[in-house]
């Protein structure tokens, strides 16, 4: 089975450097430069009171591409919503030399409503004969509310549990993404049955065309997301997992895509929004498996 995207596609090559690209270099002949350097970290300012530009994609735009030995691209992210969001952005690198396009990704944490955050990505690679990139495009933007961002490590959330999704597997149209639950608190965390899930569109609104089923075998067998639900008592440091299963079969009708899924580990616990990139074809259904004890 091949890996598929959770937030940003694992097939994209290259590495994001959220540190400085060095001092500003003289741009190469194929590059444009507005004179701004790629600087360390992020800076925030109020969003300009104007309509989105033609080059802006979901609030993200590339503002500068610098050449030389430390090629880098500066970008800005504008949150025109009413709550803070964390953004995952995928950039496509294009060279006039005809070299195959490459991609870079960036995560921009906690952009407040009405704010614009600037950052930079390194365009360099480990290859000495790497091309100079003449154009950088924004190809995909994913955003989740800061309060619902998945936590895979670091400080334990106030809920006492970490909940996140992996990159998943795909083979011959079958998709399986695993939800991971870790008790990082000090007490016992109990779950019983299935996580509650709600597929969401790019506008973060529920996709009503999706039918959510219990037990992965209702879509496909032998995925690990089947079996009867059992009550679990997770002690501090213990883990559980549950699978999301779907097919991307396309027959008659309009294919349904839902990049986000809001997940509740159990009733009464704050939800987490993950990005499994559901490509449900025309099947109109997704299955969720029961919580199982992890190793």
Burial class (CB in 10 A: 0-12, 13-18, 19+), 282: middle
φ, ψ of residue 160 to 5 degrees: the values are 85, 0
* Domains observed in the chain: 14-146 (2.60.40), 161-293 (2.60.40)
φ, ψ of residue 133 to 5 degrees: the values are -85, 125
Range in 62-76, 78-92, 243-257 with the lowest mean pLDDT: 62-76
- Cβ within 8 Å of residue 155, ≥6 positions away: none
pLDDT recorded at residue 33: 35
The residue with greater pLDDT, 276 or 35, is: 276
Kindly state the average pLDDT of the residues 66-82: 86
pLDDT recorded at residue 129: 63
pLDDT of 29 > 90? The answer is no
pLDDT of 36 > 50? The answer is no
Band (pLDDT 50/70/90 cuts) for residue 292 is: very high
pLDDT recorded at residue 5: 36
pLDDT recorded at residue 123: 85
pLDDT of 188 > 70? The answer is yes
pLDDT recorded at residue 50: 45
Band (pLDDT 50/70/90 cuts) for residue 252 is: confident
For residue range 273-287, list pLDDT tens digits in order. 999 999 999 999 999
Range in 108-112, 171-175, 186-190, 229-233 with the lowest mean pLDDT: 171-175
Q: What is the DSSP letter of 173?
A: T
- The tally of CA atoms less than 13 A away on the side-chain side of residue 101 is 14
């Amino acid at each position: 089975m091949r890996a598929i995207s959770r937030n940003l596609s694992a097939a994209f090559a290259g590495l994001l450097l959220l540190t400085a690209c060095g001092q500003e270099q003289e741009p190469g002949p194929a590059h444009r430069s507005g004179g701004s350097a790629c600087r360390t970290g992020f800076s925030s300012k109020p969003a300009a009171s104007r309509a989105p530009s033609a080059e802006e994609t979901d609030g993200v735009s590339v503002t500068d591409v610098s050449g030389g030995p430390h090629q880098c691209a500066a970008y800005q992210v504008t949150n025109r919503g009413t709550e803070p969001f964390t953004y995952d952005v995928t950039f496509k690198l294009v060279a006039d030399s005809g070299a195959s396009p490459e991609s870079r990704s960036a995560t921009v944490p906690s952009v407040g409503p009405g704010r614009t955050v600037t950052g930079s990505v390194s365009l360099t690679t480990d290859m000495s004969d790497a091309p100079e990139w003449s154009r950088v495009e924004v190809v995909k933007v994913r955003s989740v509310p800061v309060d619902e961002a998945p936590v895979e490590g670091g400080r334990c959330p106030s809920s006492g549990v970490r909940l996140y999704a992996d990159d998943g597997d795909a083979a011959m149209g079958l998709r399986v993404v695993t939800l991971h639950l870790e008790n990082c608190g000090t007490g016992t965390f109990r779950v019983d049955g299935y996580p509650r899930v709600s597929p969401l569109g790019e506008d973060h609104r529920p996709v009503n065309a999706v039918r959510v089923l219990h037990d992965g075998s209702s879509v496909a067998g032998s995925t690990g997301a089947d079996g009867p639900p059992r009550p679990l008592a997770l002690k501090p440091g213990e883990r559980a997992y549950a699978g999301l299963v779907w097919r991307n079969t396309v027959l008659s009708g309009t294919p349904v895509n839902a990049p986000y899924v809001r997940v509740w580990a159990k009733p009464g616990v704050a939800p987490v929004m993950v990005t499994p990139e559901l490509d449900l074809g025309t099947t109109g259904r997704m299955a969720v498996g029961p919580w199982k004890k992890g190793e």
